[in-house]
Amino acid sequence: MLLSLLMKESTKALIKNGPWNKGKSVGQMAPFTPDQVQVIRTLLQTEEKVRDLALFNVGIDTMLRASDLLTLTVTDVTDHQGAIVSEIQIRQQKTGQGHLVALSPATQESVADWLLQSGKRGTEYVWTSIGNRKTETHLSRGQYANLVKQWAELARLNPKRHSTHSIRRTKSAVIYDQTQNLAACQQLLGHKSIGSTAVYLGVDQRKALDLAKRIKL
């Protein structure tokens, strides 16, 4: 009787409020594959979206959280001569810990192109929404999230399956797939615990799925 009453109340609540996950993306956002990364890069180059290409490249290379990626300044990414650095030392906003990230030569080149086009310098934010006009405001998380979904659509991918975490997870997922080195991924992502890295990359889930595929019934 009690169970029946609880089920009725639950049904009423569902009808009244709708499903808890209505309109929400449930589960981890998919990382981009290496092929998808190349497609997006090529399309951004073709459409001459200099800022977007630089932002995409830095996001993929550094694996930074949006809060750290979006607040990078010109000083963070250049040396005393104005050249783009190969390594960036930051303090993570979430953990308060120092964190070192690297930029590939191709990414350095794309950032240099953006700084040249935008005329940004000194303590100005690298990523802003109004091109080369002066602003003290960096891209918001919402603007960045919308850009990622636009990039996914550009590559004819489902934007509902991709978010800013797709950018952060992409390179670390490839590194784990190729090396199985979870500790290295932990360091690269700036996680406090290796357990957090395993969950973030879906390592346990992936192992379980691989095991399930090998079992024949």
pLDDT in tens, 119-161: 999 999 999 975 545 557 899 999 999 999 999 999 999 999 9
Query: Average pLDDT, stretch 39-57?
Result: 97
> By three-state DSSP, how is residue 178 classified?
helix
Residue type (1 letter), 103: L
Query: Average pLDDT, stretch 161-178?
Result: 93
Residue 7 has pLDDT above 60, yes or no: no
| pLDDT on residue 216 | 66
Looking at 3.40.50.300, 3.20.20.10, 1.20.1730.10, 1.10.443.10, the CATH number of the domain 34-209 comes to: 1.10.443.10
| pLDDT on residue 142 | 94
Query: Average pLDDT, stretch 1-17?
Result: 41
Top-confidence residue, 210 or 152? 152
Confidence band of 203 (pLDDT split at 50, 70, 90): confident
For 101, phi then psi, to 5°, come to -130, 160
Contact 207, 201 (CB under 8 A): no
For 59, phi then psi, to 5°, come to -60, -45
Contact 170, 161 (CB under 8 A): no
The pLDDT > 70 percentage for the chain reads 80
